[in-house]
Amino acid sequence: MRIPPSLLKTAAFAGAGLVSIVTAWTGAALIESRSEALVRSRLLAEGLTWPEVKASGLQVRLYGTAPNEAARFRVVNLAGGVVDSARVRDRMDVTPVRAIEAPRFSLEMLRNTDGFSVIGLLPATPPADPAATPDPAAVAAQPADEALRAEITALAAGLPVSDMLETAAFPAPEGWDAALEFGTEALKLLPRSKISVAADQVAITAISDSDAQKRRFEAELAKLKPEGLKVEISISAPRPVLTPFTLRFLKDAQGVRFDACSADTEAARDRILKAAAGAGLQGSAICTVGLGVPSPSWAVAAEAGIKAVSDLGAGSITFSDADVTLLAEPGTDQALFDRVVGELQTALPPVFSLKSTLPPRPDGALAGPAEFTAALAEDGQVQLRGRLTDDLMKSAVDAYARARFGADRVYTATRFDEALPDGWSVRVLAGLEALSILHHGKLVVRDDTVEVSGVSGRQDAPARVSQILSGKLGQGKPFKVQVRYDEAFDPFAALPSPQECAGQLNAVLAERKITFAPGSAEITAEANGTMEALAKILLGCPALKLEIAGHTDAEGSTEGNLALSQARAEAVLLALQGRRVTVSGMIAKGYGEGVPVADNGDASGREANRRIEFTLLEAPAPVAEAGAEAAGAVAAGADTSPSVAPQKITLRPKPRPNRN
Query: 136, 229, 254, 251: which is closest to 179 by C-alpha?
Result: 229
* Class of domain 24-94 (CATH, top level): alpha beta
Question: Tens digit of pLDDT for each residue in 407-428?
Answer: 999 998 777 778 888 899 999 9
Instruction: Indicate where the chain has its CATH 3.40.1520.20 domain(s).
Output: 106-236, 371-489
User: Residue 548 is inside which H or E element, if any?
Assistant: strand 546-551
Task: Specify the pLDDT at position 98.
Answer: 65
- Cα→Cα distances 157→151, 307, 379, 514, Å: 10, 57, 39, 38
Task: Specify the pLDDT at position 197.
Answer: 96
What pTM, to 2 d.p., does this model score?
Answer: 0.46
DSSP secondary structure string for all residues of 197-235: EESSEEEEEEE-SSHHHHHHHHHHHHHHPPTT-EEEEEE
Q: Which residues of the chain have pLDDT under 70?
A: 1-2, 8, 22, 24-25, 27-28, 97-100, 125-144, 361-369, 492-495, 618-660
Tell me how far apart the alpha carbons of residues 611 and 632 are, in angstroms, rounded to a whole number.
Answer: 16
CATH of 371-489, one of 3.40.1520.20, 3.20.20.70, 3.40.50.12780, 3.40.50.720: 3.40.1520.20
Sequence-distant (6+) residues with CB within 8 A of 87 are 35, 58, 59, 60
Task: Specify the pLDDT at position 625.
Answer: 36
Task: Specify the pLDDT at position 351.
Answer: 94
Query: 654, 649, 571: which is closest to 609 by C-alpha?
Result: 654
Asked if 589 and 547 touch (Cβ cutoff 8 Å), the reply is yes
Task: Specify the pLDDT at position 137.
Answer: 43
Residue 165: CB atoms within 10 A of its CB come to: 16
The sheet carrying 59-63 orders its strands as 52-56, 59-63, 88-90
For the domain made up of 106-236, give the CATH fold: hypothetical protein tt1634 (3.40.1520)
Task: Specify the pLDDT at position 654.
Answer: 36
Task: Specify the pLDDT at position 267.
Answer: 95
Instruction: Indicate where the chain has its CATH 3.30.1340.30 domain(s).
Output: 24-94
DSSP secondary structure string for all residues of 297-315: THHHHHHHHHHHHHHHSSE
Task: Specify the pLDDT at position 199.
Answer: 92
Architecture of the structural domain at 498-637: 2-Layer Sandwich (3.30)
- Cα→Cα distances 71→46, 55, 302, 332, 333, Å: 12, 21, 86, 106, 108
- Cα→Cα distances 234→197, 208, 220, 237, Å: 15, 10, 14, 10
Task: Specify the pLDDT at position 650.
Answer: 39
Instruction: Indicate where the chain has its CATH 3.30.1330.60 domain(s).
Output: 498-637
Residue 454: CB atoms within 10 A of its CB come to: 22
Asked if 564 and 519 touch (Cβ cutoff 8 Å), the reply is yes
- C-alpha radius of gyration, the chain, whole number: 44
